[in-house]
Amino acid sequence: MQSDEKQPRQKRPKTKQDDSTAFDIPDTQDDVSLQDTQSDSRPLRYRSSSIRLRDPMSIQTTGPQTTRRNVIIPDQVAGRVTTPTPGAMPTRSVRGSVAKQGPPDGNQRRGFHWLLYVGVGMIAMLALWVVGSSALAWGIARYDDLRYGNPRTFQIDAVVGHGDDAAHPSHFIAVNLHRHIVIVEFMAGNPARAISYSGPYLFDPGGDLTPVTLEFRDVTGDGLPDMLIHIQDQTIVFVNDGTKFRPPNSSDHIHL
């Protein structure tokens, strides 16, 4: 009966060989800091070999000896990455974080497409053209203000054969009055003999700021100076009949 009963299992005493496989691994960063202060000559002890096999990259063992490697440990609290000093035991982060990777290599950066530069250049040229055109129009308007005033007014003296001579020429005033061209003639310079001529009406944008000028020369071949009205690139002829100016008709042969 006594032989059938199970005998209590006796515990085998630990030997030096068993102690070489029993290792302790620290659980917190405080244990790591304590091991950093110890001499490198003291052997490392781990709690179990199964824990050692879970992290073969950070701790490599060959027999009873251990190999230590320097790894980058991210600091979750301070938001920075620290490198342990030589001889310190590497440990994984408590939260299992991964160190931040550096910026990509400069060779991997790609430049912009050449069409982008062409488009930017065209937009810049268009903007320059718009600004230049506006500045030119503003400059011409200011020049006309100084030369012709506002409303645009032009004055000239001429001998046209209406009772005038070189000593007493006729005086002409051309006015752009709210887009309507009006010419006033003072025969022989006498205001009592003033006569007015109605010119065209200007419909173009900015027509009220368009200057009008006068010129006198014979364009019909009758020997009398005719009146030519210049409005920008247009020329309007009033024929001289010897006593005043009139609009041309089909019987007039005008040669500008």
Phi/psi for 123 (5° steps) reads -65, -40
- Residues whose CB falls within 8 Å of the CB of residue 214, separated by 6 or more in sequence, listed in order: 154, 156, 172, 174, 183, 227, 228, 229, 230
Query: pLDDT > 70: what percent of the chain?
Result: 57
- Are 212 and 230 spatial neighbours (Cβ–Cβ below 8 Å)? yes
Q: Which residue has the higher pLDDT, 150 or 48?
A: 150
Query: pLDDT > 90: what percent of the chain?
Result: 48
Give the pLDDT confidence score for residue 51 in this predicted structure: 47
Give the pLDDT confidence score for residue 10 in this predicted structure: 55
Using 50, 70 and 90 to split pLDDT, how confident is the model at 206?
Answer: confident
Q: What is the mean pLDDT of residues 221-244?
A: 93
pLDDT, tens digit, for every residue of 161-200? 999 999 999 999 999 999 999 999 999 999 999 999 999 9
Name the most confidently modeled range: 70-74, 100-104, 185-189: 185-189
Give the pLDDT confidence score for residue 7 in this predicted structure: 54
Strand residues in 16-167 grouped as ranges (E): 59-62, 65-68, 73-75, 80-82, 153-158
pLDDT, tens digit, for every residue of 103-119? 555 555 678 888 999 99
- Residues whose CB falls within 8 Å of the CB of residue 46, separated by 6 or more in sequence, listed in order: 22, 23, 24, 25, 52
Give the pLDDT confidence score for residue 205 in this predicted structure: 87
Q: Tell the burial category of 199 from Cβ atoms under 10 Å away from its Cβ (0-12, 13-18, 19+).
A: buried
Using 50, 70 and 90 to split pLDDT, how confident is the model at 3?
Answer: very low
pLDDT, tens digit, for every residue of 6-21? 555 555 555 544 444 4
Does the pLDDT of residue 240 top 70, yes or no? Answer: yes
Does the pLDDT of residue 50 top 90, yes or no? Answer: no
Name the residue ranges covered by the structural domains of the chain.
16-82, 113-147, 149-246
- Are 247 and 238 spatial neighbours (Cβ–Cβ below 8 Å)? yes
> What gap in Å lies between CA 81 and CA 216, rounded to an integer?
93
